[in-house]
Structure formats: C-alpha cells, structure tokens
Chains A and B, each alone.
Chain A
Amino acid sequence: MATIILLSFLFQIILVIALAPLVTGIIRKTKARFQHRRGATVLQPYYDLVKLMRKDVVVSSVASWLFHCTPFVVFSSMVVISLLVPTVVTPVPLHWVGDIIAVIYLFALGRFFMALVGLDTASAFGGLGSSREMSIASIVEPAMMLAIFTAAVTAGSTDLSVIVDRLSTTPASMLNPSHLLAFAGLFVVSLAETGRIPVDNPATHLELTMIHEAMILEYSGPYLALIEWASQVKLVIFLALMANMFFPLGMATTWSPSALAVGAGAFLLKVIGLALIVALVESTNAKLRLFRVPELLVVAFILSLLSLILYFIVGA
C-alpha cells in the first residue's frame, strides 16, 4: 500500500509539475502561429528554466527575508495543490488532507506572499502590481468559489475525488445546463487567476501595464525560475480542474497500467485542448482596460450564480 501511495505521488508530481512548461510552450507556439510567426520550440520554457537555474540571484539591498522565502512558498504551495487536484486517477494522492476549499486557500497563500514581496523591495512597479493583484483577487475568489461550489452541490461533496466519481457514474449530467454554465464561469476565472489576456498580458514588456509580472520584476536567476515554474504549474492546475471537475471522461479509478495509460492520454488531450482554447482567446482579444476587469469577473460570478439557481430549479 505504501508503495502505491508513493507511486501515485510521484506519478501526479511528474505529470503536473514536469509537464507544466510544455503546456506553456504549446500556448506560446500556438499564439506565434496565429501571428504568422514560426515561434520558439514548445520546449523553450524548459530551456528558459534551465538557463535561469544556472544564473546568480541579484538581490536588492533593501530586500527582507520575504524575498528569499517567497519563491519556495509559492512553488511548494503549487506542488501541494497539484497533489490535491484530480488528473489521471482518483482518489487523488492527498485526498485525506483536504478538499477543494484547501485548494482555494493554498492559492491564496501563494498570492499573499507574492503581493508582499511586490512591496518588499520598495520598487514603484512592485507596489502597483501588488495593489492590482489584490483588488482583482478580491473579485476572483468569490466567483471561483461559486463556480466550484456548484459542482460540489451537484456531487454533494467538496472532496474533489468524490465530485469526479459522482460525475463519472452519471455521464449524462456533464451536459446539463447548470454544469456547463459553471464551467464557463470557471474558465473566465481561470484566465484571470493565471494572468492571461484579457486580464493580464504575460508577454508584455510594459511595466506600467503589468499585474503578475510587476510583482516579480525584481526576481532573477533560480528564484525567478521557481516563480515562473510555479505559474506554469498553476495554469496546468486550472486546466486540470476545468477538465476533470466538469468532464472526468477517461479518468482511471484503479492502478492497473491500462487504465492509467487511458487516464494519462485523456488528461493530456483535455489539457492541451483547453490550452489551445486559451491561446485562441488570447489571440482574438485585446487586453481589457484595468477597470473593466471587474466587469468581466462579474460575468463569471453571474454565470456561476445562474448555474447554481438552475441546479435548484431544474435539478441535477
């Protein structure tokens, strides 16, 4: 039993953590193709991480201990979340530790440290980034909770493994309107949470427009690599949440190699498919004016609310 648990840990970690840069690479490549560019190889994010890992860290003389510990806090919170989120097989490795609410608060923990570190070095841009991040977060979180709770109410549990199991046993319910609306809500939330266009522009060089990038502007070398990697993992986690909380097709429920292979294949297909949709959204939209972002998130909130109301009116 112990070996199986250990194996499941390893499997999940390798899948989510190791594949995260690839997903980012695929999004970048797709965007490049949309722009008639050849684009860097999909493996470029790995090369970037390796390059950053080999470099020295430059630390501002006014930086405190926060500056040194934040990359680790952020990265390890993502590692823990990746063990809580269903990818290939249920139950998830750490299902006895926490449920979806733990996931939300682990995200919040990472964000809290990032916002602090944005202020820590007293650079003008860091403060801007932190203040923007926090004001957006305060609207993102309720919308995200509502979307996720709709799925939880349907399944009668906030345990992600249970949600997935219930859905898998009644595949027809994946297509009911309340379910689809909640999915749409979570999709919008994911764009905001992971700093994609139309909320934030991960490719920009303009400090004055940045949100996420502004907070980490002072980072370099291995610290920057950890933070970059953590945000790539965060993206995969959100894609996995969307894919498996709403469409858990092909999920393995046993540890037999064939079920695992099918599960892994289905997971990859779903995540890459969603990544392509993200790239499409990023290519066809301009970034929103900062003060319009709340309006977008209100849309996500209302979608989730509607889905919840529909659930109680129409039933599962």
Chain B
Amino acid sequence: MTTKQEYMALLEKSLGDRLTIREAPAPNELYLSLHEGALALVPETCSLLTRSLKAHFTTLAANDERMLNGRFSLYYIFSVPPADLFLILQVPVDPRHMEVPSISHIIEGANWFEREVKDCFGIIAFPNIYKLASHPDWPEDMHVMLKDVDPGQSVPRVKGRFDFKEVEGEGVFEIPVGPVHAGIIEPGHFRFSVAGEPIISLALQLFYTHKGTEKIAEGRSPRHAVFLAESISGDSSFGHAIAFCHAIERLSGFDPPPRAIVIRTMLLELERLCNHISDIGAILMDVGFSVGAATAFELKEQFLALNEILTGSRLLRGVAAIGGVRRDPENGPSRHEALRKTLEHGKRSFEDLVSLIMTSSSVMDRLETTGVLSPLDAYRLGITGIAGRASGIDRDYRRDHPHCAYPESHVHVATRTEGDVLARVRIRIDEIRDAFALVEDLQGRHAGQPILAQVTPVPPGRSALGYVEGWRGEIIHWVMTDKTGNIFRWKITDPSFHNWRALTLAVRNNIVPDFPVINKSFNLSYSGNDR
C-alpha cells in the first residue's frame, strides 16, 4: 500500500511544474492547485492522475469565488482507493474567459458534470457544450448557480427544443414517455427511438425535480442544511444527511462519539436493507410476478415500521446531526426486542423470497440477459454502486474509503460481471444478507455511551469532502464555508448522476416492454440527480 507521503512525493515529481500541492483539514485530502496559465494542461493532468496514479474521477464542483479572489474555480475530485486518498484538482477560471478544455474524451464519466457546470455557472468545457441541467426553454445566459442570481426569482421562458440524437430510417419511430408517468415515480422524460420493438437509442431529459438545494443552502448554517440534505433524495435521506454531517465534521476536525458512529452504521445498513428489498419487489412487479412482489413489499413494510419504532421516522429523518445522532435506536428494551425480532423474522422471510425467485423459471427468464451493461461500458462511464458492482466495477467506499464503523466491520464487496438485471438483483441479495449480518454484529456496541458530541463552531473559509456508501452507491458532498462558518458552496453528488447514462446504454437492443424492468433494476433517483 502506498501512503499519502509517497503519493505527495510522486505528485510533486511528476506534476510539480504545473501545480502546487496543499494539505487540507481532512487528513485524506490533497488539493492540487493548478497554476494560472496552465489551463491547457487540465486534460493531460487528469489523464495522468487516472492512468498512472489509479485515481478515479468522482465529481466536479464549480465555485463562484469572485467575491473572494476575483475568479471562478473548478474542483475535479478524484478518489484513490489503494491509499484511501482524495485528490482535488483546483483549476482557476478567469471570469473574462469562461472556458476550460473538456476532459470528457479522457474521462467519459465527466461528460454530464461538465455540462452541468456549463448550465449552472456558464463555464464552458470546450467542446462539450450540450445542455443538460437547464431545460430547453431556459435562456442560454441563465446560469442559476452564480452568486448574483437570486434563488427566489423565476426563470424566464424562451422558445426551445429538446435536442437529442435523432435516429432516422425506414420503420424507425419515436416514443415519447413522460415526464409524468403512471404509478408513483418521479418525473423524467424518455425519448425512445425504436425499430419495431427493439430500442435503437434512448435520450433522457431530466432535471424536472431541480429544487435548487445547493443554491438555497448558501449562506445558511450547516445545522440548518442537515434538513435540506435529508430531502435531496427521499430514499437516501439518511445517507445524504450523514454524508453532509461527515463533510462538516471533517472540515471542523472532530469525530462524533463511538456510539454515534455505530448507530450511523446500523441505520445506513437498515436504509440499504429497506431499499434493496423494495427494489427486488419492484423488479418482480414489473415482470408481472405479483406474489413475489407482494412478499417483498410486506417485508419492506416491516423494516419501515422498525425504522419508526427505532427512530420515530420511517425514512430515518431527523436522526442525523452534526457531531453524532439525535436518538439512540436501542434505547429501551422494547426497541431492542423489536430490532431483534424483526431481524430474525426478516432473515427467514427474505431467504424464502430468494428461493421463490430463484426457483421460478419464468422470473429468471425475464431477468437473465436483460439490460446488459458491459464491464467495459461501466468502466468507461465511471458507473458506481450496485450498478457498477453488477458490471465488474469492484468499488465500495465502505472498503475503499472506510468511514463510519466500517473499518471495524468485515464488509464483503459483492461483484459480478454479467451486468444484466439478474446480476443487479443478485448483488442486492448479497448485500441484504451482508446488511443483516452487519446490523446484528453492531447491535449493542458501545451501548449507553453519549451519542452527540459537544459541537464546536464551524470554522470559516474551509472546505472538505463528506462521503458515505449509500445503498445506491457513493454519496459525495463537498462543502466550503464562508467567513462566518456558514455554507459558501455545497456540491452534492448522488450516485444517480453517474449512473443515468448507464441506463441509456443498457437498454440498447432490448425490447420496449423490457424497459421498465431494466430501469427498475438501476432504480436511479430523479430528485438526487436533479437536486
């Protein structure tokens, strides 16, 4: 294993001519500030980081720092799993020349990030200029994240057209679906180009649930923002809240008490359990296997009810706090008993459900070879989380960047290489089994100890990353404080933002009626993507 010091020496040697290396408040972060005038070297530097240093592109945060130092900054954030290290490449952008070279030809996974930066800040990653986050009928010069834009104002509408790669030819039809769908799912527009039943291409128009979370948090206190974090994506309320708290804690340089860390880990695993079980149910529902679906939803309900008994909230809201947690779920014998009983019963019924699925040839026939995402594509696009692990991407922040109580627990990272719907189901099954074991293992650890640390004022003018392996994949928050310790910039990255592009590849050459089950097997968040 290479240590941080060795990495620093290596970086100094290979890139010292163009950038300055600086340590951050969080021990596993290194800021690499690109010298002014070295803008043209961005792609080459990123290529060096990913190819020679085994760094993975994680997220891209733009920041309007004109009131601080008269310019913009782009933060290209890379994860280096072997050293548990984050490299943050800081690139200065002159407000008079809002353009940087694109890195999408080297790191395809950065494509959407660059387009979002262009829409929200007006910084063009040339030649990657297509709209993503702003709707087709938004004016070209409307950049909502700029500091001088009032979050309360409404966006003027102009004439615009949904721009996508159109397919032409005899017998090729377009099927527009959404943004309003049947059933209780979020809004998003899908444009299929089909020749008969097989899908030739799929174009997405998302960002219908853009709530401006990052923008409205600016200038507010981090305590306040915890509640905003809980509503980034309803199914990952706890994951996002903990990722945010993690960022603030790392930025302030203190650790929550051990009992709080245990509780966070338990609740993260319970969130994983609920969502994975629910997804399996939804997948069965979409292939028309209603008995299996009903069994899964029954089980999910038991865990939601357990969440309520343990924390007072079915979706684990109001529990996370900076410096620890607000409630101890094992406080009192009745809660302890509820947890033990639900786990015991849950494990049994889950195994019944698994054998019901695995012995049903009609279900297996629907899931196998459906919606294949090849390992190569997954690697190219930087697909994360369960979708990545089902396509051979062996990454899991619980192991690669240990946080919460995961360093002390044995986390088994399940991976498969088939990349089809069944593989994504199997990954979920493995992770559910693992989550049962983890929760049982953590039960009662450090019981009775304090759960919330004395909170110190948040230091001004600092930045840090917070991260959590949520049930869908890694959740990354990058926070920078202003001169009063309130939020100056908060960049939220939900795994969905990486993974939506995987869906467009996985559905190709599949037939239209298989789309819902492929979509469900990824189960990406619209809200987390749009924020």
| Neighbouring A residues of B298 by C-beta, 8 Å | 36
| Neighbouring B residues of A169 by C-beta, 8 Å | none
Stretch in B22-30, B251-259, B284-292 with 4+ CB within 8 Å of A = B284-292
Contacting pair B183 A206 (CB below 8 A): yes
Contacting pair A286 B362 (CB below 8 A): yes
Give bound CA distance, A13 to B375, whole Å: 60
As a 0/1 sequence over residues 166 to 185 of chain B, the CB contacts with chain A under 8 angstroms (1 = contact) are: 00000001111100001100
Q: Is B516 an interface residue (CB 8 A)?
A: yes
Q: Is A95 an interface residue (CB 8 A)?
A: no
| Neighbouring A residues of B293 by C-beta, 8 Å | 35
Assess A205 versus B182: contact at CB under 8 Å? Given A36-B294, A290-B511, A292-B365.
Answer: yes
| Neighbouring A residues of B365 by C-beta, 8 Å | 286, 288-289, 292
Contacting pair A198 B362 (CB below 8 A): yes
Q: Which of B272-291 contact A (CB under 8 A)?
A: 284, 286-291
Give bound CA distance, A288 to B183, whole Å: 21
B176 to chain A, nearest CB (A): 6
Q: Is B204 an interface residue (CB 8 A)?
A: no
Q: Is A124 an interface residue (CB 8 A)?
A: yes
- Total B residues in contact with A, Cβ cutoff 8 Å: 32
B294 to chain A, nearest CB (A): 3
Identify B516's interface contact among A37, A125, A131, A208, CB under 8 A: A208
Give bound CA distance, A205 to B289, whole Å: 14
Q: Is B462 an interface residue (CB 8 A)?
A: no
Give bound CA distance, A283 to B294, whole Å: 11
Q: Which of B24-51 contact A (CB under 8 A)?
A: none
Q: Which of B166-208 contact A (CB under 8 A)?
A: 173-177, 182-183, 196-197
Specify the chain A residue showing the minimal Cβ separation from B190.
A208
Give bound CA distance, A203 to B294, whole Å: 14
Q: Is B363 an interface residue (CB 8 A)?
A: yes
| Neighbouring B residues of A220 by C-beta, 8 Å | none
Contacting pair A128 B512 (CB below 8 A): yes
Identify A285's interface contact among B196, B362, B370, B515, CB under 8 A: B362
Measured as residues with beta carbon below 8 angstroms from the partner, the interface class of chain A is 20 to 34
Q: Is A287 an interface residue (CB 8 A)?
A: yes
Contacting pair B515 A208 (CB below 8 A): yes
Specify the chain A residue showing the minimal Cβ separation from B174.
A124
Specify the chain B residue showing the minimal Cβ separation from A204.
B288
Contacting pair A124 B289 (CB below 8 A): no
| Neighbouring B residues of A168 by C-beta, 8 Å | none
| Neighbouring B residues of A206 by C-beta, 8 Å | 182-183, 286, 516
Q: Is B101 an interface residue (CB 8 A)?
A: no
Give bound CA distance, A197 to B516, whole Å: 17
Give bound CA distance, A127 to B192, whole Å: 14
Contacting pair B289 A285 (CB below 8 A): yes
| Neighbouring B residues of A289 by C-beta, 8 Å | 365-366, 370, 511, 513-514
| Neighbouring B residues of A31 by C-beta, 8 Å | 290
Contacting pair B363 A286 (CB below 8 A): yes
Give bound CA distance, A208 to B511, whole Å: 10
| Neighbouring B residues of A204 by C-beta, 8 Å | 288
Contacting pair A37 B512 (CB below 8 A): no
Q: Which of A278-294 contact B (CB under 8 A)?
A: 282-292
| Neighbouring A residues of B512 by C-beta, 8 Å | 128, 208
Q: Is A141 an interface residue (CB 8 A)?
A: no
| Neighbouring B residues of A203 by C-beta, 8 Å | 290
Contacting pair A209 B294 (CB below 8 A): no
Assess A287 versus B287: contact at CB under 8 Å? Given A35-B294, A198-B362, A208-B516.
Answer: yes
Q: Is B360 an interface residue (CB 8 A)?
A: yes
B288 to chain A, nearest CB (A): 3
Specify the chain B residue showing the minimal Cβ separation from A287.
B288
Assess A34 versus B291: contact at CB under 8 Å? Given A286-B284, A286-B362.
Answer: yes
Q: Which of B318-370 contact A (CB under 8 A)?
A: 360, 362-363, 365-366, 370
Give bound CA distance, A125 to B298, whole Å: 32
Q: Is A304 an interface residue (CB 8 A)?
A: no
Contacting pair A288 B290 (CB below 8 A): no
| Neighbouring B residues of A201 by C-beta, 8 Å | 288
Q: Is A165 an interface residue (CB 8 A)?
A: no
B191 to chain A, nearest CB (A): 10
| Neighbouring B residues of A35 by C-beta, 8 Å | 290-291, 293-295
Contacting pair A291 B511 (CB below 8 A): yes
Most chain-B Cβ atoms within 10 A of its Cβ — which of A36, A203, A286, A291? A286
| Neighbouring B residues of A286 by C-beta, 8 Å | 284, 287-289, 360, 362-363, 365-366
Give bound CA distance, A204 to B516, whole Å: 11
| Neighbouring A residues of B289 by C-beta, 8 Å | 285-287
Identify B513's interface contact among A37, A198, A209, CB under 8 A: A209
Contacting pair B291 A283 (CB below 8 A): yes
| Neighbouring B residues of A207 by C-beta, 8 Å | 177, 182
| Neighbouring B residues of A291 by C-beta, 8 Å | 197, 511
As a 0/1 sequence over residues 184 to 224 of chain A, the CB contacts with chain B under 8 angstroms (1 = contact) are: 00000000000001100101111111000000000000000
Using A35-B294, A287-B289, A289-B370 as known contacts, list a sample of 14 further A-B pairs with CB atoms less than 8 Å apart, ordered by residue number in A: A34-B290, A197-B288, A204-B288, A205-B183, A208-B177, A208-B512, A285-B288, A286-B288, A286-B363, A287-B362, A289-B514, A290-B514, A291-B197, A291-B511
11 A-B Cβ contacts within 8 A? A36-B295, A124-B177, A203-B290, A283-B290, A285-B289, A285-B360, A286-B363, A287-B287, A288-B365, A289-B513, A290-B197
Nearest 8 CB-CB pairs, A to B? A287-B288, A35-B294, A286-B289, A205-B182, A209-B513, A286-B362, A286-B287, A201-B288
- A-contacting residues of B (Cβ < 8 Å)? 173-177, 182-183, 196-197, 284, 286-291, 293-295, 298, 360, 362-363, 365-366, 370, 511-516
- B-contacting residues of A (Cβ < 8 Å)? 31, 34-37, 124-125, 127-128, 131, 197-198, 201, 203-209, 282-292
